[in-house]
Structure 1
């Protein structure tokens, strides 16, 4: 699959809240770095993060733009509540080997009704 086709499939699996099949799109040693947290390394860690997040929030990804350049796909997205973000996916042989995502986590917490951890707000 091309990087663009892989991300289209990623969106479909994400929107089904299917952590297992979503994780299968990642290489065994993939890195997922959502800039609001430390990078996750490995398919299992990525799967566990999706399980946790799908368990605490209703998430839906609406594609606004999807670009491809070589091994990279760049996704601009929004959700039905108005949150917006951007993801960069490096895809090799149809598997995501690196992902970096940017979004406003404080807005996400508030929209989803998730308590903001004290540690998030600093001292």
Structure 2
């Protein structure tokens, strides 16, 4: 599968809120760095991150576009409450080895009525 197709499948698993399926997309030593947070390193830690996030908020990713360049796929997304962001996925041997995401954390916390850190 091409990186673009992997990210399309990743979005389907994300929208199911399925941390197990999502974790299967990552290499054992993958890094997921949502720039509003500290990097999460390793498939097990990434699984735990998604499990916690799905427990705290109902999230939906609506694809605006997915671009591909070599082993990279770039996802531009929005959600039903108006948040927008983008993610960069580096894919090697069919697995995500690096992911970086850009989105507004304060808007996310407010939209999901979550506590705002002081």
Asked if Structure 1 and Structure 2 have the same fold, meaning a TM-score greater than 0.5 normalized by the shorter chain, the answer is yes
Cα root mean square deviation, aligned: 0.5
Map 1:1-123 onto structure 2 (within 5 A): 1-118=1-118
Q: What 5-or-longer segments of structure 2 have no aligned partner?
A: none
SS in 2 for 1:30: strand
Structure 1 runs (4+) deviating above 3 angstroms are: none
TM-score by length of 1: 0.95
SS in 2 for 1:113: coil
TM-score by length of 2: 0.99
Per-residue deviation at 1:9? Answer: 0.5
1:69-96 deviation per Cα after TM superposition (whole angstroms, max 9, x unaligned)? 0000000000000000000000011100
Distance 2:5 2:36 in 1: 26
**Aligned match of 1:121:** none
The alignment covers a number of residue pairs equal to 118
Per-residue deviation at 1:115? Answer: 1.0
